[in-house]
């Protein structure tokens, strides 16, 4: 087998292993075999003891596993970790760092190759191969082990984090689950919540089925039996329909499926799991996945392919199970924290309003659209908690710290008390800020800055009005498109647009034309792309589908009749021709409606500056349109080449990067040369520090999420324009996003606005 194939096979086997021990024992076994060496061992760092512990071995004394450990300065293992480099020795005994450990059985092995296991810049441990013969492992062997270690690091980190859930500690004489298990993610919506986890299941997705205790064993078994019977029926129907059209051999495949569903085959194993306390869906997932793993590991390509068939069968049973039991009322806890593998905007409506108090997503990042909506709803959110074993967490107590991006499972009483104080302090600040509702955003020296809001969810309108918004700077029209199962008709769109326009009239409402693609998918219009952020997005899609664009624009125009407060905005434009084409279509829709007898005023049309190409053409665009609005969320992603959805690079996504700030200043200057109005609707405007420097740059309007609006207003009212200008000048001299962040925080404190910065969290240094 080629090296690449061996690598792939090992990674695949390891990634489906059920727990850390299995991950490690598969690793050492396969590596020892693949490299034809005599020993392979893994030492993992234990942060509690700060030692490297022998966690698995093939070839050394197995009894030593879990017992033997080395301090961070001990042995060649310690040196590999300290240097974060591979060490390859012909004879380890001759090395000054060699440290003899009694009882491990190392006495015989001279050749030594150790490579670090690193995950997200953290040293997880060291993987070692050894051999009796005195020889240097050759370059290809070293490359193999380094490559494998890099690929396994993420899997080991994840298995370890999951394993922490199972660990027991003694409380008095009782073994109890560990408290305050901390998982790190990306802060996505500020605030803190103490609540109970509800895992959001993806329909007919075996991987996302959670573990849950069966309440009624007989009921669970009956549900499963009936779902299996439905699948049997489906298979027989398909087989019958195809009987004349496919060969006998091919038809025999259906018999194989049916035999797998015989009571004494797969189902009996599932019933046994239910007997042990799992609910039907969990029992189904466990059994199907065990068989998928077994088949996938087979060398025979025909048999290994059968794993797909088994998974397919499991999926069909799951679909029936979910359909048959979906009408049983789900009772949500009062402080529900919704946890999903991939949190989507559509999921935000799963938990009834008033009960949804926190959000956690395993994937995604701080500027994913679900996170942006969570911010506007004021729901503390952590995204990209990649190591969180989400399937296991149904019903667990949790603390979500949306400021630092941390999640604590099974929190101790002390931690709950400490976070409760933060919750109370936040409430006090929020209550005080409410009083600003009807006051304008005006600086101490009399500079007036209009504050508008970003909307998308139905509830945003009343929330925004309650917060004193003076207009809508961005209505993300794609959000209502995402929570449906087909494109809405012109009339349906008309109804919802009319509501927004009426609620805000005479204040302006900026409606953005459909901005789908990227991380905003419509379930009924799937777009499969390698690189969706650089792909078919926003205006690119709507120009290719004038029928979708025209219907939307007609609905917007009709909805504005008699109100005259509509503004239309185009997302993701890159070239002048796109703007010209979109304007032509808007004009055409307008003329059609006038011919049809509507009395509509022609709305202002604007573009969003979201891609670097648009930044450099701001002036040209400004000549073609009535206003400019900056989408700094996307602009940051494209200027810095950092995917806004990817938690791995979340720390590199920095709206305060000097390059982003420079672009933001350039845009205002260029647009003002054409005397065009410039607003900004990216999330930077919703940060009080960001708002001050944007005001100083000359932005005419800030459009922010409803939740942050009072904070931004408070900041503006407590600072003079002159001081905001000085702040901008000092920020201009800084080289790095983190420095700029610090400068803004310090300045807010100096302005007496400390309450607008992140509160001190439990365990945090002053
Ligand atoms: C932006 O990109 O800054 C923006 C406001 O649009 P969205 O976040 O919806 O992409
Ligand atoms: Mg955008």
Distance in angstroms (rounded) separating the CA atoms of residues 10 and 30: 7
Distance in angstroms (rounded) separating the CA atoms of residues 55 and 63: 11
Pocket probe for ligand 1: among 189, 364, 370, 372, the residue whose CB has the most ligand atoms within 8 Å is 372
610 lines ligand 1 (CB under 6 A): yes
Measured by CA distance, the residue closest to atom 4 of ligand 1 is: 631
500 lines ligand 1 (CB under 6 A): no
519 lines ligand 1 (CB under 6 A): no
Nearest ligand for residue 368 CA:
1
Number of CB atoms found within 10 A of residue 438's CB:
6
CB 86 within 8 A of CB 137: no
Distance in angstroms (rounded) separating the CA atoms of residues 434 and 580: 43
679 lines ligand 1 (CB under 6 A): no
Distance in angstroms (rounded) separating the CA atoms of residues 247 and 500: 59
476 lines ligand 1 (CB under 6 A): yes
Nearest ligand for residue 632 CA:
1
Measured by CA distance, the residue closest to atom 6 of ligand 1 is: 631
CB 608 within 8 A of CB 680: no
pLDDT score of 327: 62
Smallest Cα–Cα separation from 361: which of 375, 351, 371? 371
Ligand 1 nearest atom to the CA of residue 518, by list position: 10
Q: Is 677 a catalytic residue?
A: no
Angle at 599 between CA 593 and CA 601, to 5 degrees: 90
pLDDT score of 302: 74
632 lines ligand 1 (CB under 6 A): yes
The number of CA neighbours under 13 Å toward the Cβ of 555 is: 24
User: Token digits for 231?
Assistant: 């699948």
How many angstroms is it from 736 CA to the middle of ligand 1? 23
E-assigned strands of 373-415? Answer: 381-383, 397-401, 406-409
Of the candidates 158, 369, 657, 741, the residue annotated as catalytic is: 369
How many angstroms is it from 31 CA to the middle of ligand 1? 47
How many angstroms is it from 676 CA to the middle of ligand 1? 20
631 lines ligand 1 (CB under 6 A): yes
Nearest ligand for residue 660 CA:
1
Q: Is 681 a catalytic residue?
A: yes
pLDDT score of 605: 98
Q: Walk across the sheet containing 51-58 and list its strands.
A: 69-71, 51-58, 39-46, 122-131, 111-119, 87-89
* Residues having C-beta closer than 5 Å to ion ligand 2: 610, 631, 634
Pocket probe for ligand 1: among 630, 682, 684, the residue whose CB has the most ligand atoms within 8 Å is 682
User: Consecutive sets of 10 residues in the chain, 766 residues long: mean pLDDT of each?
Assistant: 80 82 92 94 93 95 91 93 96 90 82 95 95 94 94 90 75 81 93 94 81 90 93 86 73 82 90 93 92 79 77 89 75 92 83 90 91 90 92 92 94 95 90 92 98 91 93 95 88 95 97 93 88 95 96 98 98 98 98 97 98 98 98 97 93 96 98 98 96 98 95 97 98 96 96 85 59
Distance in angstroms (rounded) separating the CA atoms of residues 176 and 170: 6
Ligand 1 nearest atom to the CA of residue 478, by list position: 9
Measured by CA distance, the residue closest to atom 10 of ligand 1 is: 634
517 lines ligand 1 (CB under 6 A): no
Domains of the chain in sequence order: 3-168 (3.30.450.40), 179-202+341-421 (3.50.30.10), 206-325 (1.10.274.10), 449-684 (3.20.20.60)
pLDDT score of 766: 43
Q: What is the DSSP string of 44-69?
A: EEETTTTEEEEEEEESS-GGGTTT-E
Q: 680 forms bridges with which residues in the sheet?
A: 630, 702
Q: 131 forms bridges with which residues in the sheet?
A: 111
Nearest ligand for residue 477 CA:
1
How many angstroms is it from 465 CA to the middle of ligand 2? 24
How many angstroms is it from 559 CA to the middle of ligand 2? 24
Distance in angstroms (rounded) separating the CA atoms of residues 304 and 576: 53
Measured by CA distance, the residue closest to atom 3 of ligand 1 is: 631
pLDDT score of 328: 67
pLDDT score of 256: 82
Q: What pTM was estimated for this model as a whole?
A: 0.83
- C-alpha pair distances (Å), 698 with each of 267, 448, 695, 731: 68, 11, 5, 15
609 lines ligand 1 (CB under 6 A): no
């Amino acid at each position: 087998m080629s090296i690449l194939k061996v690598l792939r096979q090992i990674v695949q086997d390891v990634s489906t292993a059920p727990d850390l021990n299995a991950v490690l024992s598969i690793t050492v076994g396969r590596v020892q075999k693949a490299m034809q060496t005599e020993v392979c061992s893994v030492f993992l760092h234990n942060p509690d003891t700060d030692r490297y512990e022998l966690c698995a071995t093939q070839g050394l004394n197995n009894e030593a596993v879990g017992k033997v450990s080395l301090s961070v300065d001990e042995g060649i293992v310690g040196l590999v970790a300290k240097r974060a480099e591979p060490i390859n020795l012909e004879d380890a005994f001759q090395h000054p760092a060699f440290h003899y450990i009694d009882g491990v059985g190392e006495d015989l092995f001279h050749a030594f190759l150790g490579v670090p296991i690193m995950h997200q810049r953290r040293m997880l441990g060291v993987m070692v191969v050894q051999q009796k013969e005195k020889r240097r492992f050759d370059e290809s062997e070293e490359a193999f082990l380094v490559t494998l270690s890099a690929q396994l690091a993420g899997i080991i980190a994840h298995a370890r984090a999951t394993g922490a859930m199972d660990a027991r500690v003694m409380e008095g004489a009782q073994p109890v689950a560990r408290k305050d298990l901390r998982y790190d993610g990306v802060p996505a919506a500020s605030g803190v919540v103490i609540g109970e986890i509800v895992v959001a299941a993806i329909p007919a997705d075996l991987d996302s089925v959670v573990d849950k205790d069966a309440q009624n064993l007989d009921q669970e078994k009956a549900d499963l039996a009936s779902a299996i019977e439905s699948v049997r029926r489906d298979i027989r129907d398909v087989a019958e329909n195809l009987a004349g059209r496919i060969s006998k051999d091919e038809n025999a495949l259906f018999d194989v499926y049916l035999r797998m569903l015989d009571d004494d085959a797969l189902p009996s194993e599932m019933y046994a799991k239910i007997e042990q306390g799992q609910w039907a869906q969990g029992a189904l997932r466990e059994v199907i996945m065990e068989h998928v793993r077994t088949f996938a590991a087979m060398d025979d390509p025909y048999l290994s392919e059968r794993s797909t068939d088994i998974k397919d069968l499991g999926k069909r049973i799951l679909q029936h199970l979910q359909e048959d039991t979906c009408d049983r009322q789900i009772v949500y806890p009062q402080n529900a924290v919704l946890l999903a593998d991939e949190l989507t905007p559509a999921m935000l409506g799963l938990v009834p309003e008033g009960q949804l108090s926190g959000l956690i997503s395993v994937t995604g990042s701080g500027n994913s659209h679900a996170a942006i909506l969570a911010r506007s709803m004021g729901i503390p959110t952590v995204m990209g908690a990649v190591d969180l074993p989400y399937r296991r967490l149904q019903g667990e107590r949790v603390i979500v710290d949306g400021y630092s991006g941390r999640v604590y499972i099974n929190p101790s009483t002390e931690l709950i008390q400490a976070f409760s104080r933060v919750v109370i302090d936040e409430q006090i600040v929020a209550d005080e800020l409410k009083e600003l509702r009807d006051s304008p955003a005006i600086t101490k020296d009399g500079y007036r800055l209009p504050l508008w809001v970003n909307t998308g969810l139905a509830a945003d309108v009343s929330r925004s009005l309650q917060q004193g918004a003076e207009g809508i700077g961005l209505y993300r029209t794609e959000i209502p498109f995402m929570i449906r199962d087909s494109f809405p008709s012109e009339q349906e769109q008309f109804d919802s647009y009319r509501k927004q326009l009426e609620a805000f009239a005479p204040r302006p409402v900026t409606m953005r034309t459909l901005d789908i693609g990227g991380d905003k998918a419509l379930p009924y219009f799937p777009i499969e792309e390698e690189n969706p952020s650089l792909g078919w997005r926003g205006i690119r899609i709507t120009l290719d589908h004038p029928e979708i664009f025209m219907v939307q624009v007609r609905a917007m125009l009709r909805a504005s009749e008699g109100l005259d407060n509509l503004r239309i905005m185009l997302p993701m434009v890159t070239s002048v021709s796109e703007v010209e084409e979109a304007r032509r279509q808007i004009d055409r829709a307008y003329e059609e409606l006038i011919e049809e007898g509507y009395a509509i005023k022609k709305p202002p049309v604007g573009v969003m500056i979201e891609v670097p190409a648009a930044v450099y053409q701001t002036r040209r665009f400004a000549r073609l349109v009535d206003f400019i609005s900056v989408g700094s969320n996307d602009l940051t992603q494209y200027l810095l080449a950092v995917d806004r959805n990817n938690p791995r690079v979340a720390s590199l996504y920095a709206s305060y990067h000097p390059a982003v700030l420079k672009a933001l200043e350039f845009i205002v200057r260029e647009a003002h040369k054409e005397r065009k109005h410039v607003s900004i609707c990216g999330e930077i405007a919703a940060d009080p520090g960001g708002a001050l420097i944007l005001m100083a740059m000359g932005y005419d309007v800030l459009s922010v999420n409803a939740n942050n609006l009072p904070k931004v207003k408070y900041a503006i009212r407590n600072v003079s324009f002159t001081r905001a200008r000085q702040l901008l000048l000092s920020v201009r001299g800084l080289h790095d996003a983190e420095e700029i962040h610090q400068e803004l925080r310090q300045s807010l404190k100096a302005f007496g606005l400390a309450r607008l910065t992140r509160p001190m969290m439990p365990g945090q240094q002053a």
